[in-house]
Structure 1
């Protein structure tokens, strides 16, 4: 029998429930990376169209949140209960307001107080995304994409 890799040993020790949760969190992170790219692209497009750093970010956040909701629904939480799409999207935006507050608050503070970030807003977008990720995962898993009850 071949020796296990460190990753295989760790996964075996986690047990099936924790393993599934970890894999779900990793998928959530991949989706979050896509959301980060959408957030950044829309922000820079908004800036090019004359939106400011703050209003442009509000628009880009909604675009990114809508993208991540759709991807999380289709991939990360695909085995969870599927509420009607419009209701679930609205709930996703609502419960992720806490993550948004962490995300946007981090971004706004860095834009206001760190000249490097004001010159390169992508740094603030990245810091904000990381600040909101864990809370958004827990809220999404617990309230938006909860498993259907029998």
Structure 2
């Protein structure tokens, strides 16, 4: 394995992406269970699944992605993480609506708009987590 590939595989950004994938799976699994197994409303189920996924990704990022920068003030760190990810969620939605409003031939499909908006939010969330959330207080 070349050093560039090894460096990429060990990068905090790639670890952040792995954690994001785990968060998505957590979110989707809990959402589906709450809706289809327990009859929860879509809104209630989404609020619960998002909150759990947020906490799971915070824990994983704390111990896997940014382990060298975790704060001893866990609640404050979690709160910063929730705020950054809330802003990231708003950026995601805003970018999505902006992209679909352009009505360009290449991006009229909602999946493409979703990919673009998710990528923008991913970059914001990564840098917000790296610079604001995970800092040894």
Output the TM-score relative to the length of structure 1.
0.64
Q: CA deviation at 1:86?
A: 1.6
Q: Deviating runs (4+, > 4 A) in structure 1?
A: 126-131
Please name the residue that 1:145 is paired with: 134
Counterparts of 2:45 and 2:77 in 1: how far apart (Å)?
25
Pick the aligned partner of 2:44 from 55, 71, 82: 55
Q: Does 1:45 align with 2:5?
A: no
User: Which runs of structure 2 are paired with 1:55-134 in the superposition (5 Å)?
Assistant: 55-103=44-92, 105=93, 132-134=121-123
Counterparts of 1:130 and 1:65 in 2: how far apart (Å)?
18
Counterparts of 1:56 and 1:130 in 2: how far apart (Å)?
25
Rg (Cα) greater in structure: 1
Unaligned runs of 5+ in 1: 13-18, 110-122
Output the TM-score relative to the length of structure 2.
0.69
RMSD across aligned positions (CA): 3.0
Unaligned runs of 5+ in 2: 98-110
Counterparts of 1:93 and 1:46 in 2: how far apart (Å)?
22
Counterparts of 1:60 and 1:78 in 2: how far apart (Å)?
25
Alpha-carbon displacement from aligned partner over 1:41-86 (angstroms, at most 9, x marks no partner): 1110121222333332222111111000001101100111423112
8 Å Cα contact 1:39-1:64 kept in structure 2: yes
